[in-house]
Amino acid sequence: MADLPPERLHTGPPFTYVGVDVFGPWPVVFRRTRGGQAQSKRWAMLFCCMTSRAVHIEIIESVDTSSCINALRRFFAIWGPAKQIRSDCGTNFVAAAKELGISQRQPDVTVQNFLIKQGCSWVFNPPHASHMGGSWERMIGLSRRDLDAILLQENSQLTHDILCTLMAEVVTIINARSLVPVSTDSESPFILSPAMILTQKVWVAPPNGDFTDKDLHSRQWRQVQVLADRFWRRWRQEFLLTLQARRKWRDSQRDRKEGDIVLLKDSQAARNTWPMAKITAVYPGRDSKARKVELRTSEQGSAKVFLRPVSEVVLLLSED
């Protein structure tokens, strides 16, 4: 495995070194007529900070040069100019790059001149090397999958205003994720997240109230909250699983039962001594799996009863 690129290790303001990707499109209603609704398409340009792992999303009307420059201008106006922008050569971004006229060999003059004036360079990863953009590809992949599942539904009547507000809510959810495992140290009670680095605040509270699918046909701000809740549910179900990778004991095994004969793992047992016991009670955990058992054994003619975790016993003879 190669070392981390220098851009991941530089100390500087957020969004100094940025990974970017374009994804979409989604249909939006831009004009209501007597005969129905006139629809258009919108794309999203996602910027990911290489150092703080924070995310910023800009909505663009097309994948032409003007829309790209406008998105970059808005991004630079909020977070300041970046020193370097990186992107991969995946099918999605290659298609957008062709529309923009940007390529590794023959970059678009307008975009290139704009970036040079900003003191910024655009670097393409080699083709078939998406792992080189893993720091932002992970965020883009999860966000794109969840947003597509929500926004491409038939009952989602999006407008440009709803889509822009929804993307702001999505950015808040993504930037509130934990960057490291939660510490048990009482001196560090807060979770380190990109939002903490950017704003020095803990989180942004959602509006009060219950939002149901019926609100999709209500006021626009309620439609946004319904869609944001849907994104949060999918994000929680798909992203939180990656925070606790279970590399061992992933297959379900038979639980210990009352009456099983087991061998005890006793590090202090004498040589050639194999202490055995019988399970007299089982105590399941919150997942209904046996996590603790009560054992009865005999030592020098006297019976002893004690508790042990299931990891300290080996099944010798099952109860049946």
| Per-position pLDDT tens, the chain of length 320 | 666 778 887 777 889 889 888 887 888 887 766 666 677 888 888 899 888 888 999 999 887 777 877 888 889 889 888 888 887 665 545 554 454 455 444 445 556 566 666 677 777 776 656 667 777 777 777 778 777 777 776 456 788 888 888 888 888 888 888 777 655 555 655 667 888 888 776 655 566 666 666 656 566 667 777 777 777 777 666 666 665 566 676 677 788 889 999 988 877 766 666 788 999 999 887 778 888 899 998 877 788 898 888 888 888 888 88
Rounded Cα gap, residues 142 and 119, in angstroms = 31
Distance separating the N- and C-terminal Cα atoms of the chain: 49
- Under a CB-based contact definition with an 8 Å cutoff, are residues 86 and 123 in contact? yes
Rounded Cα gap, residues 286 and 174, in angstroms = 28
Rounded Cα gap, residues 263 and 276, in angstroms = 5
Pick the CATH number of 6-243 from 3.30.930.10, 3.30.420.10, 1.10.240.10, 3.40.50.300: 3.30.420.10
Dihedral sign (CA 258, 263, 269, 274): positive
Rounded Cα gap, residues 11 and 44, in angstroms = 28
Say how many CA atoms lie within 13 Å of 148 toward its Cβ: 9
Tens digits of residue pLDDT in 21-42: 888 788 888 776 666 667 788 8
- Per-domain residue ranges of the chain: 6-243, 261-317
